[in-house]
Structures are given as structure tokens and as C-alpha cells.
Structure 1
């Protein structure tokens, strides 16, 4: 059985994502740049139950479309590099705004843990969050934590461990769009699937193509071309 796994951290700016990364990895981290980009790349490791979790701190973004280099880097890593688990870090005091990114990630990949950070601040503001209801509605584990105070870390690491070992499975609940959009997706999915196979989510790619995401199409064409070489 493998004992090393890649864990990506995604989140909006100022959600405490990098604080979580630093708290988990401590001095076991290094920085550089993403290949061919001037965007900073931070990687680190954390040991848990005989396994090594390699954490990759993705650039902070508000979405995962093709509106900026940061968004492209974060999106491409999740979609094409296929980390074993993606942690989506949300700000407990601003969940509604943060959920946009979380829902995008859930359309792209399966093994996701939603981390609701800054829970200590939210509670002081009288904000109550029921993570069990959110887990049921999203179809993936939802964990409340405070990266600054290291609250919730044992549960987070145990949940990552259970995901990578197959003890639990994620079943993300798909976002349902307006009827005319769903009809277009149904038309496109078989064609997209015939081209990309099971390498990517045909539903997600169909959505992006309907959105006119030409940069993603270029990236897919490039990656498929590399795969034939």
C-alpha cells in the first residue's frame, strides 16, 4: 500500500489557507515557482499514522475559471495533476461568498474535504454552523477548524487518512442548473466523454465549454497531445 499522498489546498484569499498549510507542515516545507510561471509554489509534508501527506498550497482564488494566471494554475493542478485529496478552505464568517469556489471544486474532482476555518472567530460573532447538515448536502466531509489555534487538526488528518485508504468515500452532490443549461450539458457530455474518456469529468468540461472557456480547451488539447506521445 502507498504511504505518500498529495493533498492540495484551495481557497479564497484571506481564508487562512496558507495559515493552515504553515501550521500543518511547520518547518517541513519549501518554496519555488510553478513550472513556467512566476506564481509562488509552496509545498510541505505532514506525517500521520505512518503516512506522508505532501501538501501543495494552491494560489488563493475566488474562482477556478480562466480569468487569471492564479486561477489557471490552481484549476490545472486539481484537474490534470489529480491530487489524492483537495482541501477547500472556507472562511466561517463569510460562508456564502466562499461557497462559490467550493462548489466549483466539487464539480471538478471527487475526493474533497471542506474545511471551515476561523470557526473560533465565527462563534464569537454568534455564527453557528452545522457541519453535519453541510456534509449531507454536499456529499463530502465538512470539518470545522481554527488553523491559528490548531483546533480540529486531529479530525482533519484522520479524515484525510480515511479518504486515501478508502475507509470513506466522497459522493459530491452535483449542482443542478436551469433546465436549458442541463439540456445542453446532456447533449455535450457523450461527445466530450468520447474524446477525453475518464481522464476528466465530462460534465464539468461540458459546462466550461458552454461558458466559452477557450483557455481550458487549449490546455485539454495540449494535455491530450502529450498523452499520445
Structure 2
């Protein structure tokens, strides 16, 4: 799309994700139903430098395990629609709970920005967050913002810009599981890779199959198998 890029916003409910979306896009937004679903997605655009970032506000979810329509829609967009960058919005006052979703996204896709919102509220509560340490440990940029006060927006947009232009190379941390699970992943991942190729993470698909995620298998069969075969 030339200088146009798609940016997906993911996050738990009540993290300020939609506040961030509204503050960035202003009046440049619209809504539409996801194909075949009752879930409404908001989309908007942000001009930045010589580019246009198209933001997609995914449904707020606590996980991406396809236990609900919202989770399925959010998961499928990240995995199959392949946004140029996925922005995961976390609540600075509740990081431990929020990181569950963030770590799931890091397993699914490469170009991720962890956006820690409500940083002003956290500071009032005496919470200090070392974003540089988190960046080093997670392998992706971590940016602190206040969506309500529009604090940190320029750094956030500049970071997205540097990712889409290749100036920042994301290298998400790979979660390590107990030996028994890792052994099973090693057994089935080569077969999964034959099926999905480079379209999606074969390790992540292997994990989901070990967990018995039939909805993902159905989506892969519907979306990828005819193309791969």
C-alpha cells in the first residue's frame, strides 16, 4: 500500500485502548462489522510524516485462546490479516494481569509494540516502570503513555514509523515451557511448518494444537491449506 500501514490495537478491557485509538485518530474513523461476525471493529487513520497509519481497534480481550467470538476475531486478525505492527495496550497499574495477553501476542507475531498506558495514574500510586529493562527482556519496544493526556504519543508514532521502515528490528522473547511440552513441540512443529509455511508461526500453531484448539485448525484449513497446497 505504498506509504500506508495497518496497525492493530490489542488489549484487555479497560486498559484505555479505545481512548488511545480515539485520541490518535480523532474524526478520521469509522466502524464496520467483521466479516461473518457480529463484532464491530473501529478503524481510523493517523497521518505521520509521509505515511498514513490505519489503526484497527480490536475487541478488548483477556486472552487470545478463542474462548469467545471477541477472542477469535482479535486472534484471527493478528494471525491471518498480518497487520504491519500490533500495538498491545497495557494498564500500568495492573501489569502482571495484562502481561498474559502481551506474551500471547509476542508468540503470534513479530512486529509488536508494548504500550503501557495510564502511566500518570501509576506514578501517582508510586509505581515505577523501567521501560528500557522491559524492552531488553521482551525484545520489542516498550513505550509509556497517557492516552487521556496524550503523553508519549510522538515517541509511540515514531517507534511505529521506525519499525515499518526497518530501522527497528523486533526480536520477541520466546517463552520456554516445561521439558515435556517442549519435546512435543519439537515433534509436531516440522509437520506444522509443512502445512503453514511462513504464513504464521509454526511454533505458536503447535502450542495451540497441543492445547486442542480446533477453531484454529478450522481457520487454517479454510484460509491457508488451499493456498499452501
| Contact 2:195-2:228 at 8 Å conserved across structures | no
SS in 1 for 2:65: coil
Aligned residues: 229
Query: Counterpart of 1:12?
Result: 12
1:227 has 2:223 as partner: no
Q: Distance in 2 between matches of 1:88 and 1:107?
A: 13
Q: Structure 2: how far apart are the matches of 1:23 and 1:221?
A: 38
Give 1:110's aligned residue: 110
Once the two structures are TM-superposed, the CA of residue 224 in structure 1 deviates from its matched residue by 1.9
Alignment of 1:1-80 (within 5 A): 2-80=2-80
Alignment partner of 1:170 is 2:170: yes
Cα distance in structure 2, aligned partners of 1:59 and 1:195: 29
- The TM-score normalised by the length of structure 1 is 0.98
| Aligned mates of 2:187, 2:228 — CA distance in 1 | 27
How far apart, CA to CA, are the structure 2 residues paired with 1:205 and 1:213?
A: 9
- Structure 2 CA distance, aligned partners of 1:224 and 1:82? 13
Distance 2:173 2:224 in 1: 28
Deviation at 1:225, TM superposition (A): 4.2
Native 8 Å contact 2:43 2:55 kept in 1: yes
Question: Residue in 1 aligned with 2:213?
Answer: 213
User: Taking structure 2 as the reference length, what is the TM-score of the superposition?
Assistant: 0.98
- Check whether the contact 2:111–2:163 (CA below 8 A) recurs between aligned residues: yes
Provide structure 1 residue ranges, at least 5 long, that are not aligned to the other structure: none
Please report how far the alpha carbon of residue 176 of structure 1 lies from its aligned counterpart in structure 2 after TM superposition. Answer: 0.4
2:149 aligns with 149
Q: CA RMSD in A?
A: 1.1
User: Which ranges in structure 2 are unaligned for 5 or more consecutive residues?
Assistant: none
Q: Distance in 2 between matches of 1:225 and 1:113?
A: 30
Distance 1:50 1:118 in 2: 29
- Deviant stretches of 4+, over 3 Å: none
C-alpha displacement at 1:36, in angstroms?
Answer: 1.1
**Contact between 2:59 and 2:74, CA under 8 Å: does it hold in 1?**
yes
Bigger mean CA offset, 21-30 vs 188-197:
188-197
Judged with a 3 Å threshold, the aligned counterparts in structure 2 of structure 1 residues 173 and 225 are, in CA distance, closer, same or farther, namely: closer
- State the distance in 1 between where 2:138 and 2:225 align: 34
How far off its partner does 1:2 sit?
A: 2.2
- Separation of aligned partners in 2, 1:31 and 1:201: 29
